[in-house]
Amino acid sequence: MDTNLITLPYALDSLDPVLSAETLAIHHGKHLSAYVTNLNAALPGSGFEGLSLEEIVAKAPAGKIFNNAGQILNHNLYFLQFTPTPVLEGPTGKLKEAIDKTFGSFEEFKKTFTAQGAALFGSGWVWLAEDAEGSLVIKQYSNAGNPVADGLKPILTFDVWEHAYYVDYRNRRPDYLGAIWNILDWNVISNRF
């Protein structure tokens, strides 16, 4: 079973000015596409054929298969949490309750999450994840790291690899992290919890 490149549920130019069409074309059409191609080439004979991305990330040792599957899973969750027409300014329902309980308020969560993304050294991801007890945690992962590998459920992620923002923000990662809140689809994110 081949892994396929996801189709974005919005036009490339529809997230502008937060993310430009050029950024999305490079990020989705080149970076993510390459991970899909590389994983499909590495899977035959690996023992991971037929598994979901989540199963591969949870079971594969560090290396080519884990890196490519992790990057595909990470990017799928990242790209599918955006919308050009946000209808909510924050989480709802049980996710909102859990954020308020854990972080005090949504605004405090945003500050902490953004700071964790800005502080991550090098390339990687910042995640809001749920542990086995239903508690929320913010995690930083380098490279292809993902909460699934640690038995956590991913809820929200910001990509802090430079290719995610360099065209639009150059080296201003905090500006990118501040802007990306404006295109989040909180219905999608709340449904992950």
**pLDDT tens string for the chain (193 positions)?**
579 999 999 999 999 999 999 999 999 999 999 999 999 999 999 999 999 999 999 999 999 999 999 999 999 999 999 999 988 889 999 999 999 999 999 999 999 999 999 999 999 999 999 999 999 999 999 999 999 999 999 999 999 999 999 999 999 999 999 999 999 999 999 999 9
- Half-sphere exposure of residue 5: CA atoms within 13 angstroms, side-chain side: 15
Topology given in CATH for the domain delimited by 20-193: minor pseudopilin epsh fold (3.55.40)
pLDDT at 87: 85
CA–CA gap between residue 175 and residue 185 (Å, rounded): 19
Look-up: residue for tokens 């329902």?
A: 93
- Angle at CA of residue 189, ends 27 and 113, nearest 5°: 75
pLDDT at 2: 74
Q: Are 187 and 88 in contact (CB under 8 A)?
A: yes
pLDDT at 88: 80
pLDDT at 89: 87
